[in-house]
């Protein structure tokens, strides 16, 4: 049978591998087929039916994810039937998707400002980032932060929880933008390359300024023509200064002109600026002319003196720079909008003590912001509600004397939905006033119309039936193709934010025009909305979120408001803003930017209401400390369930119920943490929607993040990871398709153990202890103190300790400093302290991880692999699940968590004696593989001689096996197994037991064969690097004996030193115990914090004269040090780690360091002071360390006989404070 | 009297009708009077509508008494046993004379049900006495080869009786072709169609026939393990199967080197299913046996290649297995004598609904539906008019009166849009609303969907919502088209038979009764007057006596009128509960 199959895919002949699915083949051939339930890590499942295709000769549509290709198959992946099938599947799914893609605040905002996103930035103190995000859609945040009408806050769901007190969305916006405006490094957008195109913008109001901002950003030259002598339009000439100070306005205008936008003042379009000039000089234009002309009351007598339109009143004052004098005068303001509020509150400031607002409906119907009404009342404004002026009465001079009003009552709702006011018969009354300000609307002034239409030959600029400019509602292109319009001039009087929104639309359309592209509105994004299902009610939120009082805006004392000083004072501090940010309920989905379901719904133009009907509603489950389950968003693809079973083997999730009411739930438990969940987060990694996400301690946004790759620095497996961050704040970690983890699988350590990267408690400067307290000192001072201390003692009175989490480059320099600079071989790692040398070679000839699946049987020897090295655990589980490979656990644990995941468990009491007994049996019965041994190994005869001196029965007894036969059976079956792999962990297996395991693998001839032999697992990300880099008194780089004459010669040459230490004190442990060490240097280790016996370590430290610690945090050890050097993170320094299989992986620096000198640079600095020159470029360090390997001699495998077990662990957590930090936090998180 | 046998039918149907009490009564009488007759148990003979059934066999012949209670039991013992005078009025079937029920029996051909109601299912000897285990003995004795066994089944033309209708012999051949160390044979006894109970009856009445069928199948395909997947709701069937398996093991029909066939080792165990309808689907059934949630998976691979524990697996239905021993004894030709060109043998139908004789009937393929319903089933209850018959359960469809001459074979029934299925026949009369019927079956499948596929999980739900809307009088223009569109998409895009066939009842009712849908949607009327929300109640002035009963019973006080005055229903307040209609003694309420 041929292993190739020919198919016709979308009319193209394609040869593919037999056994592949249609989806596999299509993807490889770059044919996009959507799918939600498929994950290449898992077996095909087929539930979503989004991946359907048509196959000639087969009934219905075929799910491509599970349909295997057959010879001659003709497949169509994209025709109307297929698209319709996919669309209906999505329509149906989303008809039962009670969830919001975007928060109501964002959806309600005319400009679509990403409120939840900027609140997330504020939560992290990222104010510039917040401003940058706001300016994506609104370039005037400091202005809007003061005067916006805030539909977002009306829509805010906080209202439902803390009645009537929405999140302070606008106040926070103001806080962030004021912070940015006042800072030295305010945010400035990147401008695209200049296009050479020019756009004329008529009017420097909010619309004009915004359009200019976006056009300039896109690389066009935006020039604004403004009729007034200053910019801002209504912002300046309408809104009074007590609400919007001119200096704030000017700063935001300046921000825009600083991008290169020109504003030409006193240029009135149609007057001293002709369309002919514009047409000549510009490629396009945007009319943002506003709605300028005020309307009067429209009743008898409104021509009386002292009757003005409110806007003229406000404008006149700004132009003249002088307030009216209303002292002792009575003022009536007609209208209920924000202009009315500006008028009445301004009148008070002009000295009037009797100001009336006349409005024909009730306060509830008033369009003005509630806060404005509230403030006006505080300031003493009187309200005449349900009142309508019908006549202005003049005195003999033609001045206003009084206004005759009618009382009104509310009738049936009108077209706007508001109840129509109806006059009450015989309710007429007179109100005596001196001034009447009519704030009831404006008209657009279009005197330039003829001027344009006369000159243009590309169409006609028309007005609509309200007298405003007619423009395409979606693109805002007018009847003249090069002319666009936006703002009040198009819509009639509206809000600032609406004008800004339109301006962006017009600018984008104009950009399309300038680029010669078709002018189309952006594709409508699909948004699932809870409101499509039901009106939101308080009970849904009460009890789910804590109540929290709104941070109120500090304001000027009401008695103090006789001037035009800004009334609202802004939040007092960052803390206030951050505290208010906590009130955000995060209504929008955290998967907004990367939800497959949403993307497909947009692509297939899904209508959520098409199949509206019954829907399921679930409470979001936040109870697991790291994993959040929102069943409302679940589409039942079961990927979470399957990955938990097929890859993790935890089987912690399952389906409950049948049919429409099916849902995902923890298996046999109410809470996920009470199930068999291992908290690896692979469920999150596979969820195609936002149903399973990270439960984080910060506001996750969603915000768009940057992604960087690095290598995990927890265990020795060496997974590649992706950090999702914004400005160095890591939001999320996911698996990369790395060398070790090609499937992108990760365990809980990198997935949830990243908070240390965001920790503000980090040490960033050298600290010297004086009188028991640390104080910051310069690096140079720190170096001098250290050198001085080194010089005061004999070289071997110094001891250097390098941690297993450090990079190879750091390790190399530390040992070089000790040897070449300080002239001592007292260099080791506490991680391996006093644990013998059995670990030195145990990564040799290991089975590569990717051969695990080829095993015929896997033995787990003392490895709680699902906790300590889970990604290898996944590989084993997958082999077990996919290929039915039996897994046997041999453990000394009474309650190993692996028991339920394996096929067989053998409980013993000593790994060392068990393996030794097995070896004894094999050797004594001559079951050894003589040919393999003679070809590859030395020392068999000696080993045999020594071993057979021991007593087999005694070994068996000490091993603690349940039956004598157990050892024999194991020995036989292991020996006979075709592909047997023993996976063991240094955490449990002693150095000498490791030697015996190697002896076993050699005896059976398995070491180094495909899918056969040993997998040793070290504890830390760079445990292996310690040996490779010579962090050992007797070993140099490449685990060469440090006294090897060839190596010594080479080191002297490469290191340019005449002398190297010759004394080798093998046991640093004894040194420490005996108190021989005067100066202790700890690099990246926290012995005090992680010691099994802290008293012992405290003794070493107290005996020493001088203790230096290099670390990122104030660890227990650091707090006892005399001097602390701040260490950089691997993400800042870059470097390389060598994993437990000797796979060497380099990683780049991805974040700007918070420490001025990187860790390895500090060591190089010290070396220089010790007279050893050192390059600090990572590549140079690598080349240098590699050059020392040229003397490595070929090594045959060697049997090593060991006398005793030597399980002497001195430290937990790999002696690493960061590991300890996470392991402690992890444990604590699950305490009830 | 020593040669007289009294046999009481103790199938689930009989027990439900009170047969256990009757049996106990007879036993009491026997003990009290120290009578010598032989009191025996058997199972259902198919005349469920006459249960409890008591058969007396004496020198003169057999007399089957129907609808017997304790009192009647006493009577027949007194008269028939003591006085040798059979009570003819109670006899529903006899060798000696015809009864009204004769036509139920005469036109049946019993192959599958050959022993049901004739033997004590808990006694292996009785089975053996009626050719039981002769087929496997013949295979062992004559060293019939596996391929010959398979060829016989192929030649017989037997097709899968579970509903699929796939040729059984071919299925066995595939299973035989797939070589593996372990192979499984599974009996699908997860009978779940509402209104279908032939499998239960066979398991309760003749468990050894199924077991022997499985043994023969296991031999033919070299299966090493057998499983009977039986729903837990069939406790009596399970109990009898357990007894039967124990007896078969004791007699060496199960075990190692069965009947001396070297290397033929087989045991069968029972797996109780938890009652999910979808577990009748092969791959879901296998998942359930493996301890997983019963959810289907995509085929291929078919179970014949990779089934239980990923080994080649053959699954047949109870009824299919029960036929196997008969075919091997009587020969393929004998079996193929019955039936049509493409559908051979007999088929058991479960008659239910508005039919006079509800019960089990086994008929040769090729009989017309009309004959099954009218000749065997005795026609429609209460002399009403036949409207339609639902065949094939929730996966099937409705066959209208115009197609009543359709013959029962797989292809003819399929051509109508219905399916043969497992053999359920639910008969509807003129009072049945066809949308209500569609709703009933769709409601069943919607709830029984395993929830895996989007279309089946949500699509059927949405269809049901539309049907509910229509019967509630809120149907909208375009609803029929919406239903059809969704129905075809669900059929096109579902993984297993449940989803692929769930829309059938809706599609066939639309096909044959579109006018009823239109009446509901356009006129807001239910022609069958079954949808209460679409009814109008009105008082016929001439018939009203002013008794006030209707007004007193009206829960919404929607009826006006004083004593001895003509009453009047205020339509705006009427909730169409029908209480006035049922309470009026003068037929003065008009419903339309």
Chain B closest-CA separation from residue A642 CA (Å): 12
Contact of B292 with chain A, judged by CB distance below 8 Å, is answered with no
Contact of B181 with chain A, judged by CB distance below 8 Å, is answered with no
pLDDT in tens, A887-942: 999 999 998 989 999 999 999 999 999 999 999 999 999 999 999 999 999 999 99
Chain A closest-CA separation from residue B185 CA (Å): 22
pLDDT in tens, A446-459: 888 888 888 888 88
Q: Do B461 and A613 touch (CB under 8 A)?
A: yes
Q: Which residue from A94, A155, A1193, A938 is spatially nearest to A585, judged by alpha carbons?
A: A155
Q: Do B461 and A655 touch (CB under 8 A)?
A: no
CB A137 within 8 A of CB A110: no
Q: What is the pLDDT of residue A163?
A: 75
Q: Which site among B461, B472, B481 would you substitute to test the A interface, given the most A Cβ atoms closer than 10 Å to its Cβ? A: B461
Chain A residues within 8 A of B493 when measuring between CB atoms:
49, 52, 60-61, 63, 85, 88-89
Mark which residues 72-111 of A lie under 8 Å from B by CB: 84-85, 88-89, 92-93, 95-96
CB contact set of B301 (below 8 Å; sequence gap of 6+): none
Band of residue B224 on the pLDDT scale cut at 50, 70, 90: very high
Residue B191 backbone dihedrals phi, psi, to 5 degrees: -65, 120
State both tokens at A1170: 């010790």
Nearest CA in chain B to A95: B458
Q: Which residue from B310, B321, B312, B390 is spatially nearest to B350, judged by alpha carbons?
A: B390
ipTM comes to: 0.92
Q: What is the pLDDT of residue A2?
A: 55
Chain B residues within 8 A of A661 when measuring between CB atoms:
451
Q: Do B489 and A46 touch (CB under 8 A)?
A: no
DSSP H helical ranges for B368-415: 369-370, 410-415
CB contact set of A377 (below 8 Å; sequence gap of 6+): A383
Count contacts between A and B (CB, < 8 Å). Answer: 98
CB contact set of B365 (below 8 Å; sequence gap of 6+): B338, B339, B340, B343, B344, B345, B346, B347, B407, B408, B409
Q: What is the pLDDT of residue B1?
A: 67
Q: Detail the DSSP E strand segments found in B283-442.
A: 313-317, 346-353, 359-364, 386-391, 397-400, 424-429
Mark which residues 28-67 of B lie under 8 Å from A by CB: none
Chain A residues within 8 A of B489 when measuring between CB atoms:
84-85, 88
Q: Do A61 and B492 touch (CB under 8 A)?
A: yes
State both tokens at B521: 């949607």
Instruction: Give the pLDDT mean for A391-414.
Output: 89
pLDDT in tens, A843-891: 999 999 999 999 999 999 988 999 999 999 999 999 999 999 999 999 9
Chain A residues within 8 A of B449 when measuring between CB atoms:
658-660
Q: Do B450 and A638 touch (CB under 8 A)?
A: no
The top-scoring range by mean pLDDT among A976-985, B41-50, B559-568 is A976-985
Q: What is the pLDDT of residue A1?
A: 46
pLDDT in tens, B503-543: 999 999 999 999 999 999 999 999 998 998 898 999 999 99
Contact of B125 with chain A, judged by CB distance below 8 Å, is answered with no
DSSP characters over A721-758:
EEEEEETTEEEEEEE---SS-TT----HHHHHTTGGGG
Contact of A608 with chain B, judged by CB distance below 8 Å, is answered with no
* Spatial separation of the C-alpha atoms in residues B407 and B424, rounded to whole Å: 15
Of A63, A85, A660, the CB nearest to B458: A660
Tell me: cis bond preceding B52? Omega within 30 of 0 counts. yes
Contact of A262 with chain B, judged by CB distance below 8 Å, is answered with no
Chain A closest-CA separation from residue B490 CA (Å): 9
DSSP characters over A241-271:
TTTS-HHHHHHHHHHHHTTT-EEE-S--BTT
Chain B residues within 8 A of A611 when measuring between CB atoms:
458, 462
pLDDT in tens, A1009-1042: 999 999 999 999 999 999 999 999 999 999 999 9
Beta strand pairing call for A262-264 and A74-76: unpaired
Instruction: Give the pLDDT mean for A72-78.
Output: 96
The pTM of this model reads: 0.93
Chain A residues within 8 A of B446 when measuring between CB atoms:
659-660
* Spatial separation of the C-alpha atoms in residues A1025 and A811, rounded to whole Å: 8
Nearest CA in chain B to A54: B492
Nearest CA in chain B to A64: B298
pLDDT in tens, B356-385: 999 999 999 999 999 999 999 999 999 999
Chain B residues within 8 A of A638 when measuring between CB atoms:
452
Percent over 90 (pLDDT), chain B: 83
Of B276, B447, B491, the CB nearest to A60: B491
- CA–chain centroid gap for A524, Å, is 26
Q: Do A655 and B454 touch (CB under 8 A)?
A: no
pLDDT in tens, A816-835: 999 999 999 999 999 999 99
Chain A residues within 8 A of B458 when measuring between CB atoms:
92-93, 95-96, 611, 660
DSSP characters over A819-839:
IIII----EE-GGGTTS-STT
Mean pLDDT of chain A: 94
* Spatial separation of the C-alpha atoms in residues A1135 and A1158, rounded to whole Å: 11
Instruction: Give the pLDDT mean for A780-791.
Output: 97
* In the predicted structure, residue A1232 carries a pLDDT above the cut 80: no
Chain B closest-CA separation from residue A61 CA (Å): 6
CB B297 within 8 A of CB B283: yes
8-state DSSP, B425: E
Percent over 70 (pLDDT), chain B: 100
DSSP H helical ranges for A74-221: 80-94, 104-108, 115-123, 127-135, 141-147, 151-155, 158-161, 169-182, 206-217
Q: Cβ of B382: how many Cβ atoms within 10 Å? A: 8
Chain A residues within 8 A of B496 when measuring between CB atoms:
none
Chain B residues within 8 A of A68 when measuring between CB atoms:
300
């Amino acid at each position: 049978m041929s292993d190739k199959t020919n198919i016709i895919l979308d009319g193209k002949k394609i040869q593919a591998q037999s056994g592949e699915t249609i989806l596999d083949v299509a993807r490889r051939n770059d044919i996009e087929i959507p799918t939600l339930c498929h994950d290449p890590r898992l077996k095909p499942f087929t539930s979503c039916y989004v991946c359907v295709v048509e196959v000639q000769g087969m009934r219905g549509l075929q799910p491509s994810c599970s349909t295997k290709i057959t010879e001659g198959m003709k497949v169509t992946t994209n025709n109307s039937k297929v698209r319709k099938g996919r669309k209906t599947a999505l329509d149906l799914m989303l008809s039962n998707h009670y969830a919001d893609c975007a928060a109501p605040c964002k959806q309600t905002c005319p400009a679509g400002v990403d409120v939840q996103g900027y609140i997330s930035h504020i939560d992290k103190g990222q104010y510039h980032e917040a401003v940058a995000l706001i300016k994506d859609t609104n370039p005037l945040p400091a202005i809007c932060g003061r005067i916006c009408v805030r539909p977002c806050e009306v829509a805010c769901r906080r209202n439902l929880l803390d009645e009537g007190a929405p999140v302070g969305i606008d106040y926070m916006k103001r806080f962030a933008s004021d912070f940015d405006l006042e800072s030295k490094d305010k945010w400035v957008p990147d401008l695209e390359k200049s296009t050479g195109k020019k756009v004329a913008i008529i009017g420097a109001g909010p619309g004009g300024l915004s359009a200019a901002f976006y056009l300039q950003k896109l690389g066009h030259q935006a020039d604004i023509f403004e009729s007034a002598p200053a910019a801002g339009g209504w912002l300046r000439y309408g809104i009074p200064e007590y609400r919007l100070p001119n200096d704030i306005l000017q700063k935001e205008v300046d921000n825009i002109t600083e991008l290169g936008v020109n504003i030409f003042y006193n240029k009135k379009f149609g007057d001293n600026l002709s369309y002919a000039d514009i047409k000549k000089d510009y490629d396009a234009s945007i009319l943002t002319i506003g709605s300028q002309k005020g309307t009067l009351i429209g009743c008898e007598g409104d021509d009386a003196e002292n009757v003005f339109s409110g806007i003229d009143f406000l404008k006149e004052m700004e132009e003249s720079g002088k307030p009216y004098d209303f002292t002792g005068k009575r003022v009536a303001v007609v209208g209920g909008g924000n202009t009315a509020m500006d008028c009445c509150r301004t009148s008070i400031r002009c000295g009037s003590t009797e100001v009336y607002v006349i409005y024909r409906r009730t306060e509830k119907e008033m369009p003005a912001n509630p806060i404005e009404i509230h403030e006006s009342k505080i300031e003493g404004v009187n309200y005449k509600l349900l009142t309508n002026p019908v006549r202005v009465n003049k005195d003999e001079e033609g001045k206003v004397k009084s206004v005759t009003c009618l009382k009104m009552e509310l009738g049936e709702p009108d077209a706007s939905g508001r109840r129509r006011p109806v006059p009450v018969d015989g309710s007429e009354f007179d109100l005596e006033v001196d001034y009447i300000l009519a704030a009831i609307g404006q008209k657009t002034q279009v005197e330039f119309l003829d001027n344009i239409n006369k000159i243009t030959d590309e169409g006609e600029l028309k007005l609509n039936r309200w007298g405003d400019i007619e423009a395409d509602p979606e693109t805002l292109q007018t009847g003249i193709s090069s002319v666009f319009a936006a703002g009040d001039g198009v819509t009639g009087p509206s809000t600032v934010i609406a004008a800004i929104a339109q301006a962006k639309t017009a600018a984008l359309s104009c950009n399309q025009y300038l680029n010669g592209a078709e002018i189309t509105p952006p594709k409508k994004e699909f948004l699932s909305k809870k409101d499509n299902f039901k009106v939101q009610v308080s009970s849904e939120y009460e009890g789910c979120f804590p109540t929290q009082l709104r941070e109120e805006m500090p304001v000027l004392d009401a008695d103090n408001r006789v001037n035009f000083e800004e009334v609202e004072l802004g939040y007092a501090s960052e803390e206030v803003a951050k505290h208010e940010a906590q009130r955000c309920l995060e209504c929008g989905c955290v998967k907004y930017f990367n939800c497959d379901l949403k993307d497909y719904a947009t692509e297939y133009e899904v209508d959520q209401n098409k199949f509206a009907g019954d829907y399921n509603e679930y409470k979001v489950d936040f109870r697991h400390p790291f994993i959040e389950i929102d069943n409302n968003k679940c589409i039942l693809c079961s990927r979470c369930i399957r990955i938990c079973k097929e890859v993790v083997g935890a089987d912690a999730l399952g389906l409950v119920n049948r049919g429409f009411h099916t849902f995902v739930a923890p298996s046999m438990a109410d809470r996920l943490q009470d199930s068999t969940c291992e908290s690896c987060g692979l469920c999150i990694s596979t969820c195609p929607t936002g149903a399973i996400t990270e439960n984080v301690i910060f506001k996750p946004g969603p915000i768009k993040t940057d992604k960087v790759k690095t290598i995990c620095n927890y265990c020795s497996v060496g997974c590649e990871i992706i950090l999702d961050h914004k400005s160095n704040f890591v939001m999320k970690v996911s698996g990369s398709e790395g060398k070790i983890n090609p499937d992108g699988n990760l365990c809980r350590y990198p997935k949830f153990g990243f908070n240390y990267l965001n920790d503000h408690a980090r040490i960033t400067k050298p600290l010297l202890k004086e009188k028991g307290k640390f104080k910051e000192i310069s690096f140079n001072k720190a170096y001098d103190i250290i050198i001085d201390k080194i010089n005061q003692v004999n070289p071997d009175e110094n001891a250097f300790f390098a941690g297993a989490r450090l990079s190879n480059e750091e390790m190399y320099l530390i040992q070089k400093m000790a040897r070449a600079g300080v002239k001592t071989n007292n260099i080791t790692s506490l991680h391996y302290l006093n644990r013998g040398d059995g670990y030195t070679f145990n990564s040799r000839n290991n089975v590569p991880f990717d051969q695990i699946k080829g095993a015929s049987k896997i033995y787990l020897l003392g490895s709680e692999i699902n906790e300590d090295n889970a990604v290898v655990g996944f590989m084993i589980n997958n082999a077990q699940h996919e290929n039915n490979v039996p897994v046997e656990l041999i453990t000394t644990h009474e309650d190993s968590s692996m028991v339920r995941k394996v096929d067989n468990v053998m409980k013993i009491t000593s790994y060392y004696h068990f393996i030794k007994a097995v070896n004894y049996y094999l050797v004594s019965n001559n079951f050894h593989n003589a040919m393999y041994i003679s070809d590859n190994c030395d020392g068999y005869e000696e080993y045999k001689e020594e071993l057979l001196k021991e007593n087999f029965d005694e070994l068996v007894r000490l091993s603690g096996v349940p039956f004598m036969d157990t050892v024999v059976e194991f020995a036989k079956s292991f020996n006979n197994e075709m592909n047997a792999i023993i996976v063991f962990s240094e955490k449990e297996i002693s150095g000498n037991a490791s030697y015996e395991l190697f002896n076993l693998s050699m005896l059976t001839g398995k070491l180094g064969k495909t899918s056969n032999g040993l997998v040793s697992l070290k504890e830390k990300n760079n445990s292996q690097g310690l040996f490779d880099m010579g962090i050992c008194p007797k070993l140099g780089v490449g685990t060469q004996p440090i006294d090897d004459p060839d190596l010594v010669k080479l080191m002297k040459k490469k290191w340019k030193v005449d002398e190297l230490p010759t004394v080798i004190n093998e046991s640093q442990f004894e040194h420490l115990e005996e108190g021989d060490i005067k100066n202790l240097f700890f690099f990246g280790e926290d012995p005090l914090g992680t010691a099994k016996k802290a008293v012992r370590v405290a003794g070493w430290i107290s005996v020493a004269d001088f203790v230096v610690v290099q670390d990122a945090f104030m660890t227990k050890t650091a707090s006892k040090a005399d001097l602390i050097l701040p260490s950089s993170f691997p993400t800042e320094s870059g470097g390389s780690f060598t994993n437990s299989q000797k796979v060497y992986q380099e990683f780049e620096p991805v974040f700007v360091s918070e420490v001025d000198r990187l860790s390895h640079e500090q060591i190089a600095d010290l070396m220089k002071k010790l007279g050893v020159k050192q390059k600090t470029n990572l590549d140079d360090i690598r080349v240098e360390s590699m050059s020392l390997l040229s003397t490595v001699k070929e090594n045959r495998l060697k049997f090593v006989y060991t006398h005793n077990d030597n399980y002497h662990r001195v430290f937990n957590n790999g002696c690493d404070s960061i590991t300890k930090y996470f392991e402690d936090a992890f444990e604590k998180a699950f305490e009830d | 009297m020593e040669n007289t046998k009294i046999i009481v039918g103790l199938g689930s149907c009989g027990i439900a009708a009170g047969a256990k009490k009757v049996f106990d009564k007879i036993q009491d009488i026997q003990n009290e009077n120290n009578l010598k007759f032989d009191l025996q148990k058997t199972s259902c003979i198919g005349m469920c509508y006459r249960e409890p059934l008591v058969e007396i066999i004496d020198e003169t012949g057999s007399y089957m008494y129907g609808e017997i209670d304790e009192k009647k039991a006493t009577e027949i013992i007194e008269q028939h046993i003591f006085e040798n005078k059979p009570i003819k009025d109670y006899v529903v079937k006899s060798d000696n004379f015809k009864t009204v029920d004769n036509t139920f029996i005469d036109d049946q051909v019993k192959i599958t049900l050959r022993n049901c109601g004739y033997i004590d299912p808990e006694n292996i000897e009785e089975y053996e006495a009626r050719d039981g285990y002769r087929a496997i003995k013949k295979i062992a004795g004559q060293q019939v080869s596996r391929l010959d066994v398979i060829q016989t089944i192929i030649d017989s033309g037997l097709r899968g009786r579970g509903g699929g209708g796939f040729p059984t012999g071919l299925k066995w051949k595939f299973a035989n072709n797939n070589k593996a160390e372990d192979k499984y044979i599974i009996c699908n006894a997860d009978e779940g169609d509402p209104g279908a109970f032939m499998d239960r009856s066979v398991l309760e009445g003749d468990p050894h026939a199924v077991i022997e069928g499985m043994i023969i199948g296991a031999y033919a395909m070299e299966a090493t393990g057998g499983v009977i997947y039986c729903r837990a709701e069939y406790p009596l069937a399970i109990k009898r199967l357990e007894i039967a398996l124990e007896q078969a093991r004791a007699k060496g029909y199960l075990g190692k080197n069965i009947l001396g066939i070297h290397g033929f080792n087989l045991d069968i165990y029972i797996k109780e299913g938890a009652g999910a309808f979808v577990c009748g689907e092969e791959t879901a059934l296998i998942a359930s046996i493996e301890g997983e949630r019963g959810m289907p998976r995509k085929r291929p691979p078919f179970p014949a290649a990779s089934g239980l524990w990923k080994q080649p697996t053959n699954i047949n239905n109870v009824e299919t297995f029960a036929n196997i021993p008969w075919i091997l004894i009587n020969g393929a030709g004998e079996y193929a004598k019955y039936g049509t060109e493409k559908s051979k043998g007999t088929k058991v139908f479960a008659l239910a609904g508005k039919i006079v004789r509800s019960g089990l009937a086994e008929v040769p393929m090729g009989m017309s539906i009309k004959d099954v319903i009218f000749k065997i089933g005795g026609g429609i209850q209460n002399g009403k008019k036949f409207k339609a018959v639902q065949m094939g359960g929730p996966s099937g469809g409705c066959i209208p009166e115009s197609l009543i001459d359709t013959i029962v074979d797989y292809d003819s029934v399929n051509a109508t849009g219905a399916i043969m299925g497992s053999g359920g026949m639910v008969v509807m009369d003129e009072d049945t609303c066809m949308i209500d019927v569609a709703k009933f079956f769709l409601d069943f499948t919607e709830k029984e969907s395993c929830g895996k596929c989007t279309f089946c999980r949500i699509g059927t739900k949405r269809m049901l919502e539309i049907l509910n809307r229509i019967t509630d009088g809120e149907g909208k223009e375009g609803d029929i088209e919406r239903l059809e569109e969704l129905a075809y998409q669900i059929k096109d895009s579902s993984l297993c038979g449940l989803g692929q066939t769930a829309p059938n009842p809706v599609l066939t009712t639309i096909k044959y009764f579109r006018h009823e849908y239109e009446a509901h949607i356009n006129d807001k009327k239910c022609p069958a007057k079954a949808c209460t929300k679409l009814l109008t109640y009105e008082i016929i002035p001439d018939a009203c006596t002013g008794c006030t009963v209707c007004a007193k019973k009206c829960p919404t006080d929607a009826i006006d009128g004083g004593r001895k005055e003509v009453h009047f229903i205020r339509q705006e307040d009427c909730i169409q509960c029908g209480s006035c209609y049922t309470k009026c003694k003068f037929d003065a309420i008009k419903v339309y």
